Amino acid sequence: MTIGFLSHLDLNLYLFRLPIMQKLIEQGHQVYAICPRGDKFALFERHGIEAIEYNIQRSSLNPFKELKAVYNIYKALKPLNLDMLHTFTAKPNIYGTCAGKIAKVPSIINLVEGLGSFYIEDSKKNIMVRTLIEKLYKMVFLMSDKVVFVNSDDPAYLASKGVIQSDKIHIIKSVGIDTDFFKSSNIEMKVLEGLKVSLNLKDKIIVLMVARAIWHKGVREYYEAAEALSKHKALQFILVGDVDEGNHSSANKAFLNSGNVLWLGHRDDILALTAMADIYVLPSYREGVPRTLLEATSMEKPIVTTNSVGCREVVKNGENGFLIPIKDAVALANKIEYLLLHPDERKVMGENGRMLAIKTFDVKEVVRQYLKLYERLKK
């Protein structure tokens, strides 16, 4: 079988699709990475994957440029004589499916990792964009053989709106994580002790949140919960994640540097910081399936997150963490305080999370599910 993986970023394919691509090659299939040229483009070759370049403007809405993008993808696909095309993210899903049909690719699979921030607030602009997205997806999904979703809520919503037929829906929860890599014991104790000393956190119980510093990640609620629990002097809240310049939903630096939270901005040592944490928090309003929650779960951290689309896929309430209502800083503070006061339950929840991560979210299991799907759709 000859299969192409189409994305708007070489980084996306290299970081998140490589295990699937490698397994296909091991089985004797021909695999192409079809993407714009970026820093990772040349690296595919060392894995036996031929990279095929095409051009697309990620933020453009100019109809002539968008039609040209469809043509560019068609030109990239036509000589490959693909048996199957797997597309990722919104524009490649829409344009790639159209181009794939024109190029007569027998089987086309789309992956929808989440419906995005336009589905969080009901502003006039968001409603207009949602209407457009749904019309385009309805057209595209008629041409696709299967559409993979990473959570149960998004396909249920789209099916209720008549955007997708139920027989086109296939759920594979997350792109998978390497649970052997995301293991707290991989970080030496002396490294953790050194990190704590460098951040002046010796003898602290650490609450960690890793996310872009934008409001719909629940940043405001996180800061409010930290303020509500300021009486617990042993407790230290940490936020890791940079501001998103140009995004109207981004928190400002003055806010981030205020209150009872240690804001660290961008960091490259997320693995060590997560290993150092005692409680992991993500009060997000909506996600696909948040990778940071998967990583923290794999590293045996008890989770407090929202009962929202995507987030609730990772937590079994009361087993490996707690689910709280969206935008509820009081509930967030209450659950963090409960975990602070019950260290034995923190440990049990962390262990339960590790077992869940291995069983459901490990990359080997996710790859197995994708290979099974490819085999079913092979024509």
Average pLDDT along the chain: 94
CA distance 104 to 311: 38
Q: Above 70 in pLDDT, residue 61?
A: no
Neighbours of 28 (CB within 10 A): 7
* pTM of the shown model: 0.90
Please report the pLDDT score of residue 371 as a whole number.
96
Q: Above 70 in pLDDT, residue 198?
A: yes
What is the third-level CATH fold of 2-176+363-377? Rossmann fold (3.40.50)
Q: Please, are residues 176 and 371 in contact by the beta-carbon 8 Å criterion?
A: no
161: Cβ contacts below 8 Å, ≥ 6 apart: 134
Sheet holding 146-149, edge to edge: 50-53, 30-35, 2-6, 84-88, 107-112, 146-149, 169-171
177-196, pLDDT tens digit by residue? 999 999 999 999 999 999 99
Report the top-level CATH class of 184-361. alpha beta
211-220, pLDDT tens digit by residue? 999 999 999 9
Percent of the chain at pLDDT > 70 equals 98
Q: Above 70 in pLDDT, residue 58?
A: no
φ/ψ (deg, to 5) at 327: 60, 30
Residue from 223, 233, 237 nearest 277 by CA: 237
Please report the pLDDT score of residue 60 as a whole number.
62
Where do the domains of the chain lie?
2-176+363-377, 184-361
Q: Please, are residues 33 and 13 in contact by the beta-carbon 8 Å criterion?
A: yes
For the segment 290-312, the average pLDDT, to the nearest whole number, is 97
307-324, pLDDT tens digit by residue? 999 999 999 999 999 999
Q: Above 90 in pLDDT, residue 117?
A: no
72-111, pLDDT tens digit by residue? 999 999 999 999 999 998 899 999 999 999 999 999 999 9
Question: Is it true that 2-176+363-377 and 184-361 share their CATH fold?
Answer: yes
